Amino acid sequence: MRSKPNRRDFLKSIGLTGAALSLGVSISAQEEVPSTKRPNVILYVVDDQGSTDAGCYGNPVIRTPGLDMLAENGTRFTHAFCTSASCSASRSVILSGLYNHYNGQYGHQHAYHHFSSFDYVRSLPNLLSEAGYRTARWGKYHVAPEEIYQFQQTLPGGSPEAGASRCKSFLAAQDDRPFFLYFCTTEPHRPFRRDGDTFKPNEVIVPPYLPDSPECREELAKYYDSVERADKGLLQLLQILKQTGHWKDTVVIYLSDNGIAFPGAKTTLYEPGMRLPCVVRNPFAGKKGIVTDAMVNYADIAPTILDLCDATPKEYSFHGRSFTSVLDQEHPDGWDEIYASHTFHEITMYYPMRVVRDRRYKLIWNIAYGLEYPFASDLYASATWQGVLKRKEKFYAKRRVEAYLHRPKFELYDLQNDPDEVNNLAEDPKYETILEELKTKLRNFQKRTNDPWILKWEYE
């Protein structure tokens, strides 16, 4: 395996010298006095990046200088979770602060899938606009209807790096209003967009939830390239913030909408599908380089941004809560439990699941457990899965293929002793008390968030 270049060498290798190189040094070393006005916000959302697939998250192969720089100057979450491991559904939660079983975006927005949010939803861009922010979006949108998720400007596309440059006029505009930029890359979604064949199959790190097969390694190499391509856009935006004087007054939040686009991750609520990278840089924070184990999920994103922007609406409730208070805390109290709610991906993929997860245990309720688990079309067609089928293998990584396709009503896992979620304890009498406690929490969560699928308990 080749040696990993340091950040300065990598910046030079991709041609970011001079001002951009000085950015890499000055951002991490600079102590600027922030403005007293309300902050600007950039919400940077990539498509299908796993939680361990970045330098700051421990991957020694993938080069992510933009995200690494953001983590050095902000807060890196080790326990951040999407609530639905599907593109449109997850994005609707990010932008609304409401679980999609309530906001109505049950699955994909585009084409014949045609899911969209209810008209009672008040979204992040609309609320910020009402509060005096100028708003713009770049890249993937994937929610509906537009009047519910309305941005004042739509900026020209291109690669993430080129797209970031095209946002400069919006960021640098002489305007007294603060800005909100929603920047969404297509990368690293399949088919993996790349700037070249950088990685070789023997260089990648195969995570334990994927099979160590030639097909999987080949696809991971392409995925790594696509992750790096997404990161170039972030690095470029950080450079622009520095050039325009907005580094000192702009909150930058980095997320992935759901897990890596491989079977066993995306569209599932196993850990690889829902535990994701999340890094927040708040220029008003007193500390930087914080790593926090606060358990947050994407219903918390909109309330957090609105809190930071002093734009939280009165007489309107979110399912999530602001996590601004934990940005400078490594082990905060009261952030030890999250919930998830998934119903569709594609229109043909009805498989509702509800999840409660604490520090140790995780309960998945497979509401439609009698159905075979449905595949996203691109995941089924992947070389990784087709290799398993061609060889008629019984296992997909550590999980039996049969167990992946046919799931029981309840899956209970001890994540401390079984981080790969392969030993279901739901039928073990020793865990009956824990199972019932988690089922009660799940039911209360559904009641609290007006989940229509709560009626399914009557058929248990």
3-state helix, strand, coil in the chain (%, to 5): 35, 15, 50
The answer to whether 87 is a known catalytic residue is yes
In the DSSP assignment, the letter for residue 306 is: H
Question: CB under 8 Å to 6, separation ≥6 — which residues?
Answer: none
Given strand 75-81, what is the order of strands in its sheet? Answer: 153-154, 134-139, 179-184, 40-46, 250-256, 275-281, 75-81, 290-297
- For residues 216, 219, 220, 223, the Cα torsion angle rounded to the nearest 10 degrees is -160
* Rounded Cα–Cα distance for residues 176 and 128 (Å): 15
**30: phi > 0 → left, psi -120 to 50 → alpha, else beta; which?**
beta
**Among candidate residues 117, 113, 70, the one with its CA nearest the CA of residue 91:** 117
Q: Among residues 87, 167, 184, 216, which one is catalytic?
A: 87
Length of the chain: 460
Identify whether the C-beta of residue 77 lies closer than 8 Å to the C-beta of residue 216. Answer: no
Backbone angles phi, psi at 388, to 5 degrees: -65, -45
Q: What angle do CA 379, 380, 383 make, to 5 degrees?
A: 80
**Among candidate residues 140, 101, 98, the one with its CA nearest the CA of residue 121:** 98
Residue numbers annotated as active site:
87
